[in-house]
Chains A and B, each alone.
Chain A
Amino acid sequence: MNSNINWFKKIADQWHIYREPIIPSFGEVALMKKVMRTGARVLVLGATPRYRDLGHELKCEVVACDMNLEMLVSTSRLMKYSYKSAAETWVIANWLETPLKTNYFDYILGDFVISNIPLNLRSQFYLEIKRLLKKDGLFITRHIMLDHNLKASAVVTHYADQKDPNICEFQFAMQSVVWNKKLKQFDLRSVRQIIKQMIRKQALSNRRKYKILYQRFIADYPFEKTWFQDAEINEEKKLKKYFQITAKKHASDHRLSYLCPVYFLKKK
């Protein structure tokens, strides 16, 4: 996980440019809000401003646990209730082994947190979540799904054709395309190569829009980061070993919500 630390620092600097589906939509946050009660104890894995805002909106005790301090500092400015961030407890620690209280939290919120954990460490991660959650607590997390029907050329062309493409959406769609089934991971660096190849294949007059897409992609995503992801069926099988999936919901306020369901997990 340490190899990804630079990624976190870079992402902290440019968090403000992210849009859905990279960040949770208001629809997704609303799904979470429906099941949460006020005055509860909430642990946010990561620094996601909208989750921390949700905690404050519900007058909860908010603890945020991230791998680096910069992430929490810079994302605090983007919160609706940024003035309340001073009241949060911040913990800079590895999610796999935190010193936090046992059976303490009513809700643990995560945003694509599972895909940050290498597959061989997933059991350790799930056990730690179980340790931190109260008996009836819920682990609520958005999780990445892959659409194997998406084709690289179609996705690239779709977004290159748009006047003002949503680069966050483009990145998200490309995850399915660049997923390595054998290694069970994806790395968006290869997207650069895919767009470059597409540019070469185009007639000279048609290249400009692909070049623009390429420039915007590398500006928004200058990272080297690996995500760990198994097929949906295997991901759920592993989850079910530790949790009961009480619900799996999709919001409807962004185009790729079908690729980021919100899981509501109760510990077994």
Chain B
Amino acid sequence: MSKETFAEPWKDYAKRWQKYYRPPGRPSQSAIAEYRRHLRTAKRGLKRKPRVLIFGSTPELRDVAYEEKYEVTFIDLNLEMILAMTSIMKHKNPNEIVVRGNWCDLPFQDHYFDAAMGDVVLSNVPGNLQDRFLKEIVRVLKNSGYFISKIEVVPKDFPFEDYEVVLNKFKKVPADFYQDRSCMSIELLVYLHNLTFNYKKKLIDLSLIVRGLNKYFKKDHFVHPDKKLNVLLNDMWQMWQPMKKTWSVSWEVEVEKQIKRYFKILNKKVLADCYFRCNDQCFPIWLMQVK
């Protein structure tokens, strides 16, 4: 798998991020609180200004690290994401160090950062590069530095149902449950994208959703007889078009095994951001410390 389906699509998503992108894809208030708590743990006992490296441009993470008085460095491969995300930051941090670069070949000195963090970053790295990515994090972190991240997993009891069954579940969700409908459309995406999980390839592939919902897809939009689902499917399409995005994900137990090769897992918390608990369970926040 190449960078074309992992990193490149974000160039285009950058334009629509603010309008359509919602938790669990981006940090919710409860996720921010969890990140904040872990950042406080990571700086405990330090007498100088703590340093954090953030993977990706996620504005919420950069804002919370700034509020916690960290020296913030972030690295993103896509200039489009850097520019779009910087424009929607709560705080303008004049001392923020911006790096456009490769996560798997970090340009930073060894043992420089006290903490590293990212929101759903590991699955955006192709499977064959994930160990290299984790090794690089260990290299740039202090000897007992922390890695704080929401890591996408596939829980062993995730209900792999038929597309129609899932759509029916979403039809029944009370309309007033969500603050805005984008939350519901991203939740639909999360649910559906798990149905495309290929264990052998350790891959989730959005293009398979379009194939699975083929009968409702007409060239560049969805047509579903149910009005509510029609809106949700088209909102999902608006955000993720042309649905050529992949994530490298595995069963939770396998991800844990992979992480444990490099880090001690100090904490893992499933938040309550979604209507469907099985969606929340796919995105726990992990606090890890270099072994």
Contacts and interface: CB of A to CB of B under 8 A. Distances in A.
Interface stretch (B104-112, B196-204, B211-219): B104-112
A99 B107 CA distance: 8
Interface stretch (A89-97, A159-167, A218-226, A242-250): A89-97
Contacts of A92: 96-99
A101 B108 contact: yes
B107 A69 contact: no
Contact of B107 (A2, A63, A73): A63
Interface string A66-85: 00010001000000000000
Contacts of B100: 88-90
Contacts of B97: 91-93, 98-99
A87 to B, nearest CB: 10
Contacts of B101: 89-91
A90 B75 CA distance: 9
A102 B139 CA distance: 13
Given A89-B99, A91-B99, A100 B82 contact: no
A90 B110 CA distance: 19
Interface in B166-190: none
A157 to B, nearest CB: 43
Nearest to B74: A92
A98 B109 CA distance: 9
Main secondary structure of the interface of A (DSSP, over half): mixed
Contacts of B107: 63, 89, 91, 100-101, 104
Interface string A43-81: 000000000000000000001000001000100000000
A171 B113 CA distance: 43
A90 B108 CA distance: 12
B94 interface: yes
The binding surface of chain B is classed by DSSP as mixed
Contacts, number: 49
B79 A99 contact: no
Contacts of B83: 69
Nearest to A63: B107
A70 B79 CA distance: 11
Given A2-B94, A93-B97, A99 B109 contact: yes
A98 B112 CA distance: 11
A86 B107 CA distance: 16
Contacts of B110: 101-102
B86 to A, nearest CB: 8
B24 to A, nearest CB: 29
Most chain B CB within 10 A, of A2, A73, A100, is at A100
Contacts of A2: 94
Contacts of A89: 99-102, 107
Among the interface residues B73, B100, B112, which one has the most CB atoms of the partner chain A within 10 A?
B100
B94 A90 contact: no
A73 B94 contact: no
B282 to A, nearest CB: 32
Nearest to A5: B94
A98 to B, nearest CB: 8
Contacts of A100: 107-109
Contacts of B109: 99-102
17 contacts: A63-B107, A69-B82, A89-B99, A89-B107, A90-B98, A90-B101, A91-B99, A91-B107, A92-B97, A93-B73, A93-B98, A93-B99, A99-B73, A100-B109, A101-B108, A101-B109, A104-B107
Interface of A: 2, 63, 69, 73, 86, 88-93, 98-102, 104
A-B pairs, 3 with minimum CB distance: A92-B98, A89-B101, A90-B100
Given A92-B98, A93-B97, 18 more contacts: A69-B98, A86-B79, A89-B101, A90-B79, A90-B98, A90-B99, A90-B100, A91-B101, A92-B96, A93-B73, A93-B99, A99-B97, A99-B109, A99-B113, A100-B109, A102-B109, A102-B110, A104-B107
